[in-house]
Structure 1
Amino acid sequence: MESRDYLKDISEIKDLMNKSSRFISLSGLSGVMAGIYALIGAAYAYWSVSNSHREYLILDGLVFKLILLDLFLVALFSVLTAIFLTTRKAKKNGAKVWDASSKRLLINFLIPLLSGGLYILIILGNQKYGQTGALMLIFYGLALINASKYSIGDIKYLGFIEIILGLISALLPGYGFWFWVLGFGLMHIIYGTWMHFKYDKAKY
């Protein structure tokens, strides 16, 4: 009996240490909403380029600026929604939103993401558009994997999927737009739904 209690105490201590070192208040619904925003943004981008009367997705002039604005708005709404839903979940769980674990998560997520974002802006400035979608997927996947060490570990699997999609997209540059839709749109919705029912719904 004492041995069982001892093992139970060790398990509880390990669980507390894991929670204290990881930010586990991420909301699965924020992933779903990010996917929806991505699909809406992709639909607008496709419509804009199609109406530019070009055979391929070549961006220049006003269309290029509109696509950049479209991407910015998708990212902005995704971040704001994630902050809102994550804050609400943290309050329900009696957890802090901004602490050492969330700071570590944010730093490790932003390092590869910002590095990739700056690199993409550089190549866009050189009017090289072909690998943009692939690079977005790859750097985003790396950011998820890097951040998973300080959050819900399962997000690394989404990171692996994003990287794989990015590499396939690099091999098939003519389909980069559709791989972007698959990675940032559909995969976010599918993975966010799974995370919601595994981590969020199970607690209520």
Structure 2
Amino acid sequence: MLSSTSSRFSLKNLVQVSILGGLAYLLTYLSVPILPMAPYMKLDFGDIPILLATVLLSTRSGLIVALLRAVLYFVFTGVSLINMIGISALLIASLTIVLSVTLVNKLVQNNAKYVIMILFETVMLTLVMSVLNYFVITPLYINLTGFKLSFSLLDSVLYTVAPFNIIKGLFIGIVFVIVYNRSNAWEKYKEKR
């Protein structure tokens, strides 16, 4: 049984993580394609609750929220190998964002922290997803579906995967900073009352 004070992951944290996981799952459906040549790559808001869990609760909470979102999405969108590839990519992207933000949050304590956080998270997301798409994700998808690229794999990564992740990283980072600053302002307002 969970103790409300002695457990490192209290019932309160469990509820918060569950709510943020459900919210992250729902916000994944609020998505838009941003590159005409890759309409299957969609930008969504699902990483915002994951980052809130990371910064407001703990890195472990952020990782759990990311995993919870991926599991919920996998279960409710259909259990298939092809779906698993996309959801695995989604999870890896979220984990990359969480770990990048955590690292900057621990190492940088000045006014430029948010700018550094957004830039570092964007660079890491772009590098990790580009390498994974070149060596694993895209070749696996091609082998399983018989899909034919209209240009080389390298061009696909350079002209679709990398730009998509640059846009996603900047977008997620900027929206997160805005939401986080608003939530901090709200907390300060409540404390004064």
Larger proportion of helix? 1
Same fold (TM over 0.5): no
* TM-score, length of structure 2 as denominator length: 0.36
TM-score (norm. length: structure 1) = 0.35
Larger Rg, first or second structure (1 or 2): 1
